[in-house]
């Protein structure tokens, strides 16, 4: 069993929809949680960085961490075609300064 | 603005060739990383470095070596390229020890024929 599980999709939604992307993990030592967005043939771009449990909001994006359930989510409000990309979750016990464990990514397509 | 650059976007090499992939960051980050990304397998860590001349093996170091002679530059070396090393190679950097996430370069798509 992988340490981090992420539904690969593809997930297709209409423009303006609320998107929910999720990861589950098994290692209770994970304290730092990240979401990356990766466009086709590009490197991953850091979207959200959170520590421990709780919510963090940045514009249309909200990251949620539930450590008791070992479950993290990324919500995208008012989704746009430009949000079409692969979203990767990543986590670490010690922050990004050390090894990250990545999910395999969820492919999202936002259609007009 | 944070910037990580990689020497080539696309590279085609022949089996047995020695291949050098270069990565440069301008953020004065201590940590640098090399990953490969393959469909269905996600990102896998090859090597990382937390200081000049220091290196640590990641999850899949076999067939690779690295060099870090300057803080801003981290090189990945394929000693004798093989077809199973055809992949997308991604370099990243981060602060230490506070972290704050890793910042990635654009990637090098390497094809070994």
The pLDDT tens digits of the residues spanning A26-61 come to 999 898 899 999 999 899 999 998 888 889 999 999
* Residue in chain A lying closest to B87 (CA): A41
CA angle at A46 for the pair A69 and A41, rounded to the nearest 5°: 115
Integer Cα distance of B67 and A5 in angstroms: 32
Strands A11-14 and A106-111: parallel
Residues in B touching A105 (Cβ below 8 Å) = 42
Per-residue pLDDT, averaged over B31-53, amounts to: 92
Residue A81 token pair: 């075609």
Phi and psi, residue A15, nearest 5°: -55, 135
Query: Taking Cα atoms as reference points, which of A74, A59, A82, A80 lies closest to residue A17?
Result: A80
Residue B90 token pair: 């991604």
Residues in B touching A5 (Cβ below 8 Å) = none
Integer Cα distance of B84 and A5 in angstroms: 25
Query: Is the Cβ pair B101, A103 closer than 8 Å?
Result: no
Query: Is the Cβ pair A97, B106 closer than 8 Å?
Result: no
Tens digit of pLDDT for each residue in B54-111? 999 999 999 999 999 999 999 999 999 999 999 999 999 987 655 568 899 999 999 9
Instruction: Choose the weakest-confidence range: A57-61, A89-93, B16-20, B79-83.
Output: A89-93
In what helix (H) or strand (E) does residue A86 lie, and over which residues does it extend?
A: strand A85-92
Integer Cα distance of A46 and B2 in angstroms: 11
- Residue B18, pLDDT > 60, answer yes
Residue B67: its pLDDT value, please?
97
* Contact between A107 and A10 (Cβ < 8 Å): yes
Strands A19-25 and A4-6: antiparallel
- Residue A67 Cα to chain centre, angstroms: 15
Residues in A touching B58 (Cβ below 8 Å) = 99
Instruction: Give SS3 for A83.
Output: helix
Residue B112 region, left (φ>0) first, then alpha (ψ -120 to 50), else beta?
A: beta
Neighbour count for residue B29 (Cβ, 10 Å): 22
Q: Where are the beta strands (DSSP E) in B1-113?
A: 4-6, 10-13, 19-25, 31-38, 42-49, 56-57, 64-70, 73-78, 87-94, 103-104, 108-112
Query: Is the Cβ pair B45, A34 closer than 8 Å?
Result: no
A16 confidence band (pLDDT: 50, 70, 90): very high
Residues in B touching A95 (Cβ below 8 Å) = 97-100
Instruction: Give SS3 for A104.
Output: coil
């Amino acid at each position: 069993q992988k340490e981090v599980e992420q539904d690969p999709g593809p997930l297709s939604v209409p423009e303006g929809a609320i998107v929910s992307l999720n990861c589950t993990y098994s290692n209770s030592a994970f304290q730092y949680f990240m979401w990356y967005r990766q466009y086709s043939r590009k490197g991953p771009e850091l979207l959200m960085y959170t520590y421990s449990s709780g919510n963090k909001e940045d514009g249309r994006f909200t990251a949620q961490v539930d450590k008791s359930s070992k479950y993290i989510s990324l919500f995208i409000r008012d989704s746009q075609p430009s949000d079409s990309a692969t979203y990767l979750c990543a986590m670490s016990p010690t922050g990004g300064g050390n090894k990250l464990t990545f999910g395999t990514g969820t492919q999202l397509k936002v259609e007009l | 603005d944070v910037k990580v650059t990689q020497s080539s976007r696309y590279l085609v090499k022949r089996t047995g060739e020695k291949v050098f992939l270069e990565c440069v960051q301008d953020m004065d980050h201590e940590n640098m990383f090399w990953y490969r990304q393959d469909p269905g397998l996600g990102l896998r860590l090859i090597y990382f470095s937390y200081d000049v001349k220091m290196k640590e093996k990641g999850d899949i170091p076999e067939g690779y070596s690295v060099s870090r002679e300057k803080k801003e530059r981290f090189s990945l070396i394929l000693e004798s390229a093989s077809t199973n090393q055809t992949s997308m190679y991604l370099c990243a950097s981060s602060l230490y020890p506070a972290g704050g996430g890793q910042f990635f370069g654009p990637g090098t798509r390497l094809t070994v024929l």
